[in-house]
Amino acid sequence: DGCWMKTCEGRVRECRYTMGDDDMLECIKDSVYEDSEIAYIRDSMGYHKVGNPSTTKRSMTLHLYCPPFDKCRVWLDPTHTSNASCSRVCYHSQYGTLVNNNTSSSTTTTTTSSNCGCIDDAKYEVK
C-alpha cells in the first residue's frame, strides 16, 4: 500500500518521521516539492506530514492512495505518540456519485478516544 502525491500548484513541504523510543516522533527527512513534482510514501517508510511552507502563496496537491483507506492515525502533538487521534476520510464522490457529507457516514471525524477503531491497528498509519 502506498500514497502518490503530486504537487499541482505552489510548493509543498513533507516531513517524514519514525517512532522514537522516548514516545516522540523523530524527523528523518524534510523535503520541499515544487510544481509538478511527485512524491511517494508507504507505511514501511514511516509517518509523514504535508503542508504549505508559504504564508502568502497557495499550494495544491493531488493524492492517490492504493489501496484506499477509511481512517488513519493522526498526531497533534509529536512529543506524545501514545496520544494519537483517529481521523476518518471524507469523500467528494464515490464511484462517480457525489457524496452528501452532511448525512453520509463517511464524514470526517477526529476523536481522541482510543476506542475509535484504528489506534491499535498497525494497518492504519499516518498517510
Helix or strand holding residue 97 (H, E): strand 97-98
Q: How far apart are CA 6 and CA 62, in angstroms?
A: 5
Q: Which of the pair, 24 or 99, is modelled with greater confidence?
A: 24
Give the model's pLDDT for residue 102. Answer: 59
Cα separations in angstroms, 55 against 9, 31, 39, 58, 107:
14, 17, 22, 8, 28
Q: How far apart are CA 68 and CA 93, in angstroms?
A: 13
24-72 pLDDT, tens digit per residue, is 889 999 999 999 999 999 989 988 999 999 999 999 999 998 888 888 8
Q: Does the pLDDT at position 87 exceed 50?
A: yes
How confident is residue 115, by pLDDT bands cut at 50, 70 and 90?
very low
Q: Does the pLDDT at position 98 exceed 70?
A: yes
Give the model's pLDDT for residue 113. Answer: 34
Q: Which of the pair, 105 or 43, is modelled with greater confidence?
A: 43
**Which residues are paired to 7 by β-bridges?**
61
Supply the pTM of this predicted model.
0.67
Closest by Cα among 32, 4, 117 to 70: 117
